[in-house]
Amino acid sequence: MNTLTLTPSRAPAHTSSAPSSPGRGLGLLLVAEALLSFAPVLILGAAIGWPASLDKPAAEQLAAIGANADAVALGYGLYLLYSILVAPVMIGWQLDHDQPRGVLVVIGATLLLAVAAATAGVALLCRRHQARSLCLDVAGVLAFVGITVSILIEPDQMVRLVTLSNPPD
C-alpha cells in the first residue's frame, strides 16, 4: 500500500484548484469583462436594434423599448456590470505590477480629467442641442470627480512622479 507522508520542509506544490497567482485571477477578470462587453450589443441589438436605433424618433424608440422591456433591462444591466468591472481590473493590475499605491490615484485622476476633456470635445462636434448638453453635463461631472480624486494626491508624491531620477549635472 502506498502512503503519502509530508515533511515540514516539503509540501505539495499545488493542493487546490484556486488560481495560483493574482495574475491568473486578473486574467480571468479581463476575459470576463471582454466577453461581457459583447453581451449588451447582442441583447440590445436583437431587442431594439441598438445602437443604430439611437437615431430613431423618441416615440418609435420608446415603443420598441416598451415591447422588449425585459431584454432592454438585461442588456443595460450587463452594460452597467461590465462598466463597473473596469475599476477592479485597474486596481488588480496596479497591485499585480508592484507599483507604488499612490500611482493609482494619480492615474485615476488623470484618466478622469482626460475623458472629461474628450467628452467636452465631442460636445463641440455635436449638432443636436440635446446631445451637446448631455455631453457637457457628463464632461462636467467627470471633471468634478477627477478634481476630487486629485485632492487625494500627496504633494510629495507628485514631486516624486515628476522629478528626474538622474538629474543632469
Same domain, 108 and 153: yes
pLDDT tens digits, 57-114: 989 988 998 999 888 888 888 877 777 677 667 666 666 665 665 676 777 777 888 8
Same domain, 93 and 105: no
- Give domain status of residue 122, yes or no: yes
Q: What percent of the chain has pLDDT over 90?
A: 3
- Give domain status of residue 76, yes or no: yes
Give the pLDDT of residue 67.
92
Same domain, 78 and 104: no
Give the pLDDT of residue 4.
47
Look over the chain and give the mean of its residue pLDDT values, rounded to a whole number: 75
The number of domains in the chain is: 2
3-class DSSP assignment, residue 6: coil
pLDDT tens digits, 147-161: 888 887 777 766 666
HSE at residue 25, side-chain half, CA atoms within 13 A, is: 14
> Residue 21 pLDDT more than 80?
no
CA distances from 138 to 76, 116, 151, 169 (A): 18, 7, 20, 46
**Vertex 60: Cα angle to 55 and 66 (nearest 5):** 115
Query: Where in the sequence is the domain holding 105, given as residue range(s)?
Result: 99-162
User: CB–CB of 48/61 below 8 Å?
Assistant: yes
Same domain, 88 and 36: yes
Query: How would residue 51 be classed by pLDDT, with cut points 50, 70 and 90?
Result: confident
> Residue 11 pLDDT more than 60?
no
Domain boundary among 69, 98, 127: 98
Same domain, 44 and 77: yes
Angle between helices 69-84 and 22-48 (to 10 degrees): 150
Same domain, 152 and 114: yes
Distance CA 10, CA 32 (A): 36
- Give domain status of residue 14, yes or no: no
> Residue 24 pLDDT more than 60?
yes
Q: Which three cell numbers stand for residue 68?
A: 422588449
- Give domain status of residue 2, yes or no: no
> Residue 9 pLDDT more than 50?
no
- Give domain status of residue 157, yes or no: yes
Same domain, 103 and 156: yes
pLDDT, greater one: 94 or 133: 133
